[in-house]
Chain A
Amino acid sequence: MGEDTSAIVLRGVAKRFGHLTALQGIDLDVPVGVTLALFGPNGAGKTTLLRLISTLGKPTSGRMAILGTDTLNAPEQVRSQIGLISHQTLLYEDLTARENLVFYGRMYGLKDTADCARAALDAVGLLDRQHDRVRTFSRGMKQRLTIARATLHRPSILLLDEPFTGLDASARTLLSRMLEGLRQQGRTIVLVTHDLQQGLALSDRFAILNRGRIVAQRTSADVTFSDLETLYETAIQKGR
């Protein structure tokens, strides 16, 4: 597809579930190292889009390339470069924090799983609780462990589906700081969020989705928060 500097490329992507069209005519270009925020009302297709990018589902039509690889042919290759944080923690409650990370480390084929796990736990401040079962963790701690899990294999693309929902203040700060750090490391980030302000602050670009289509795309630096609010309202009105 020729876009060598693009981490994620979607061309004319559509996703249908039977007669229901969740996404259509999606054209998206996310260069390497860029953070894209995705805004939109419920049911707009944001989660579906994220799942497509994470190779969990295949597009019904259109083409998609992640890091230059056409995902239809070789999705396994790109999976090791993608990390996903969603509403669910994806953690095994009866294993310890360390065991969860060691498991995922093995599944991602990391060479030094024990060291990676240790480093990841340290980064989220859970090293002292590494031998405790996840079941005993608070929601904030689980979210921190989820972040550790998603970044364990050092993916170059990070996908986040409304990660700030339900977080306590300290976890929010930690997540914002981590995202900043990841941005500086040059990772590509796609962030789905309802929080327009936070999304705008954390992103380089944003797109607004409504009823399965991208209705607006802008560079974040060019837009103030009130502009964004107006833009969002108009985009939603048009689609109704």
Chain B
Amino acid sequence: MKTRPYLWSFGLGLLALVGMLIAPYMALVYADVETQMLLAQKIMYFHVPSAFAAYAGFFLVFVFSILYLWRRDKRWDIWASCSAELGVLFCTLVLLTGPLWAKPIWGAWWVWDTRLTLTLVLWLIYVAYLMLRSYSEDPQQSAKFRAVLGIIGFLDVPLVHYAVKLWRTHHPNVVFQERMGLPPDMLTALLFCGMTFLVLFAAILIKRVSLELARDELDYLQAEIQDRKTILGQVSEE
């Protein structure tokens, strides 16, 4: 077993574990209770860091996709796919915690706020990325297609952001109000949770990629064994 990625993921995993143990303390105890939204606001400490992790994931998909198309090394495709998987996972968390936050505060499950809408569109783009993986027939071609989608999807992000923001300013929702600046203790808690989630993301990513690389190597070795068997079979025949 290759030791370096193992050490990285172990180290990061440990760090993430420590972070995740401290995070609830930071979120619930350290940070003050917000005056208007009260306890429900505490979801922010998991909602926003999940969003950090999701966007980090999608940015990585973009970078790895470019690297794959440039270098054609299968490993970049594996990194890209795993980043997309994790990105979708954290994106789903954002979309689940969003309504949980919105309902007690604004009385509706979904309020079409700018960031949540952007996250929804991103979720759709990257789920399509995962579907491309499932429904392709030729693995090499599939990798190229996904890389192209990974690039196009990310290029779209600023445009979607601008479009949704513009849309919201044209159709202001009386119920909803923009998030205001944060007092220092909440900011600290938020940043701490954000860092923890990013470390967690990295740890899981490395583990996932190692698994995928190992699986790929296994496939290769099995194909080799099959090849050698047939050759040996012929020799014994003669």
Binding site for B on A (CB under 8 A): 17-20, 238, 240
Contacts and interface: CB of A to CB of B under 8 A. Distances in A.
B219 A17 contact: no
Contact of B234 (A17, A18, A19, A240): A240
10 contacts: A17-B138, A17-B140, A18-B139, A18-B140, A19-B219, A19-B220, A19-B223, A20-B223, A238-B234, A240-B234
Contacts of A238: 234
Interface centre among A18, A20, A238 (most CB of B within 10 A): A18
A240 B235 CA distance: 10
Interface size class of B (residues with CB under 8 A): under 10
A69 to B, nearest CB: 22
Nearest to A60: B72
Contacts of A19: 219-220, 223
B34 to A, nearest CB: 53
A240 B219 CA distance: 23
Nearest to A239: B234
Given A18-B140, A20-B223, 6 more contacts: A17-B140, A18-B139, A19-B219, A19-B220, A19-B223, A238-B234
Contacts of A240: 234
Contacts of A17: 138, 140
Interface string B122-143: 0000000000000000111000
Contacts of B223: 19-20
Contacts of B138: 17
Contacts of B219: 19
A114 B219 CA distance: 54
Interface centre among A19, A20, A238 (most CB of B within 10 A): A19
Contacts of A20: 223
Nearest to A19: B223
Nearest to B138: A17
A238 B219 CA distance: 26
Nearest to A240: B234
A135 B220 CA distance: 46
B153 to A, nearest CB: 24
A20 B219 CA distance: 11
Interface in B135-182: 138-140
B220 to A, nearest CB: 5
Interface in B56-71: none
Contacts of B220: 19
A20 B226 CA distance: 11
A17 B219 CA distance: 13
Nearest to B221: A19
